[in-house]
Amino acid sequence: MGTKITPYTQPEEESKKAQVARMFDNIAHSYDFLNHFFSLGIDVLWRKKAMRLLKNHLATQAMHGNVHLMDMATGTADFAIEAMRSGIPNLRVTGVDISPGMLAIGRKKVERRGWHDRVELIEGDSADLPFEANTFDGYTVAFGVRNFEKLEAGLTEMHRTLKPGGMGVVLEFSKPTAFPLKQIFHFYFHTLMPGVGKLVSKDSAAYSYLPESVEAFPEGDGFMEIMKKCGYSQCQMHRLTGGIASIYTGIK
């Protein structure tokens, strides 16, 4: 899987999971602003497309009664909120994240929208989820899988919690290869993002780690092979905005 990329170099014995949780706690206050700033708001459209794919799959599954989705690495609950906006009837969402700071902001956003009885946000680890097998009709995870300390363990555990026929939807950054988008993307991620991120968030390591984690992520066919290894079938990839991001789907 290559060199393990972590946000911080000290203390050396601290796990990647602990470092990622600490990083997101540190930047939680500015995360939503910077996330939308750096993506120029396009991340909102990416989430909408991802939810359309999941909603279409649920429709073909002839779902009846309640629909229960998990939003892994929910952060400040943007994807959980998008799920609620998608029009899926009788929907409940359980968001899971390792950062208490991000979850606190997410809960305020959910509360403001009056969805506290249908959206639950809990602290948890992708590799050790507190749910029984066959719990969820589907799951989403946006810009989170590259932060997993144990990628295959996380994908396998999320697969375990899906009902048979359930769909996992992963939205993640990828690396464009065509000129000039490749060059613009590299400058944006490796020069502009660390500089602005440090200025706004006051955490110099966080916005250097994020582009490094994108570079190290096994995207494209490589990631779909990992999904298949973890038990998913009918794996598909949808490139977004010239390859800046990709949506991956797989079925249990």
Task: Give the pLDDT score at 35.
Answer: 81
Strand partners, 167: 138, 251
- Residue 235 within a domain: yes
- Residue 164 within a domain: yes
Task: Give the pLDDT score at 11.
Answer: 67
Which residue type occupies 185?
F
Answer yes or no: are the C-beta atoms of 84 and 93 closer than 8 Å: yes
Q: Omega before 180 cis (within 30°)?
A: yes
| 3-state SS string for 152-203 | HHHHHHHHHHEEEEEEEEEEEECCCCCCCHHHHHHHHHHHHHHHHHHHHHCC
Task: Give the pLDDT score at 12.
Answer: 66
Q: How many domains does the chain have?
A: 1
Answer yes or no: are the C-beta atoms of 240 and 49 closer than 8 Å: yes
Answer yes or no: are the C-beta atoms of 106 and 121 closer than 8 Å: yes
The CATH number covering residue 54 comes to 3.40.50.150
- Residue 136 within a domain: yes
- Residue 1 within a domain: no
Q: Nearest 10 degrees: CA dihedral of 163, 167, 168, 172?
A: -170
Q: What six digits make up the tokens of 101?
A: 């700071």
> For 114, what's the count of Cα atoms within 13 Å in the CB-facing half-sphere?
1
- How many angstroms separate the CA atoms of 84 and 15, rounded? 34
151-177 b/e (C-beta count within 10 Å ≥ 16 → b): beebbbbbbbbbeeebbbbbbbbbbbe
Helix axes 221-229, 151-161, angle to 10 degrees: 60
Task: Give the pLDDT score at 41.
Answer: 85
Task: Give the pLDDT score at 238.
Answer: 97
List per-residue pLDDT tens for the chain, 252 residues long: 445 789 887 666 789 999 999 999 999 999 998 888 778 889 999 999 999 999 999 988 866 789 999 999 999 999 999 999 999 989 999 999 999 999 999 999 999 999 999 999 999 999 999 999 999 999 999 999 999 999 999 999 999 999 999 999 999 999 888 888 889 888 888 888 888 888 888 887 888 888 889 889 999 999 999 999 999 999 999 999 999 999 999 999
- Residue 6 within a domain: no
- Residue 199 within a domain: yes
Domain coverage including residue 161: 16-251
pTM, whole model, 2 decimals? Answer: 0.92
- Residue 8 within a domain: no
- Residue 156 within a domain: yes
